[in-house]
């Protein structure tokens, strides 16, 4: 089958681990299927407040799609097959209401960049490198992936990345806005854990509302679901967590949020 996508739950943090070491964690068709199921499972777990994606081992986040599976594939059926394999996974990632972090080290190529773009934040080790080699493979790139890339780095830079298939260092990725922060490799996991715990301490309904609003802002103004936006904001003010947050502030203590 080729590789696996594993999930781990540590307290309030859900981990998604891409494990295909012999292919530098390249995503096989089987792994795309497992990814969608894993995200859905963590989305439905009330214990999980934050989700973090990482690559197994010391070499790569995700080195792309498993290109060996493309051999002998061509034509419209190929496009449909690739879209089917990855479509559900990306739908689950994009619809996840919980904060999603990509912890990137080593190779982050092709499909790995696409997966990282679905995260709310990307933190990278200094050894990370980024590349989208679609033009060197003759691969068509999904409109959603191009939109996410352009939203982060701008249209001109997105075209440079896609036209050139060039490899970019972690520092270059930071400069263009592709990642939020670059850290020494030995410090990356500790920083991500600390950030995830910091986020998990906060009110789940507020986090969910922020994700919804950010998603709606990406669409055309006339197509935005403003009713859903208003409802998500109102739900925060009507929640037990709002009362708890106010009490905790007045009592000078940390709030204990329950997500309701």
For the stretch 216-247, pLDDT in tens is: 887 777 788 889 889 999 999 999 999 999 99
In the CATH scheme, what architecture does the domain 4-199 have? Alpha-Beta Complex (3.90)
Spatial distance between the Cα atoms of 15 and 196, rounded to a whole number of angstroms: 11
Cα–Cα distance measured from residue 139 to residue 211, given in angstroms and rounded to the nearest whole number: 31
Distance CA 30, CA 245 (A): 44
Judge contact between 140 and 86, C-beta under 8 A: no
Q: Are 205 and 240 in contact (CB under 8 A)?
A: no
More confident residue, 204 or 86: 204
pLDDT of residue 24: 93
Q: Where are the alpha helices (DSSP H) in the chain?
A: 29-44, 76-95, 111-117, 134-137, 143-153, 155-164, 170-176, 185-200, 204-217, 226-237, 240-250
What value does the mean pLDDT take over residues 111-136? 96
- pLDDT category, 259, cuts 50, 70, 90? confident
Cα separation, 5 vs 17, whole angstroms: 6
Question: Rounded to whole angstroms, how far apart are CA atoms 200 and 12?
Answer: 7
For the cut 70, the answer to whether the pLDDT of residue 83 exceeds it is no
Q: What letter does residue 48 receive in the DSSP assignment?
A: -
């Amino acid at each position: 089958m080729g590789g696996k996508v594993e999930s781990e739950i540590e307290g309030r943090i859900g981990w998604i681990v891409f494990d295909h070491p012999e292919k530098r964690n390249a995503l096989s068709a089987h792994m795309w299927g497992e990814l969608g199921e894993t995200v859905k499972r963590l989305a439905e777990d009330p214990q999980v407040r934050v989700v973090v994606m990482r690559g197994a081992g010391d070499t790569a986040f995700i080195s792309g799609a498993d290109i060996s599976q493309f051999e002998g594939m061509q034509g419209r059926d190929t496009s449909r097959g690739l879209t089917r394999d990855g479509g559900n996974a990306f739908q689950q990632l994009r619809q996840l209401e919980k904060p999603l972090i990509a912890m990137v080290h080593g190779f982050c190529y092709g499909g790995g960049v696409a997966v990282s773009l679905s995260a709310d934040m990307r933190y990278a080790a200094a050894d990370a490198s980024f590349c989208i080699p679609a033009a060197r493979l003759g691969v068509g790139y999904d409109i959603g992936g191009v939109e996410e890339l352009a939203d982060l780095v701008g249209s001109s830079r997105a075209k440079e990345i896609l036209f050139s298939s060039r490899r970019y260092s972690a520092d270059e990725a930071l400069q263009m806005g592709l990642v939020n922060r670059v850290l020494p490799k030995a410090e990356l996991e500790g920083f991500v854990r600390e950030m995830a715990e910091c986020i998990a301490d906060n009110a789940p309904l507020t986090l969910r509302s922020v994700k919804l609003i950010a998603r709606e802002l990406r669409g055309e103004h006339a197509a935005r679901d403003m009713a859903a936006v208003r409802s998500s904001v109102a739900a925060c003010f009507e929640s037990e967590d709002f009362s708890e947050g106010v009490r905790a502030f007045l009592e000078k203590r940390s709030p204990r949020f329950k997500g309701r």
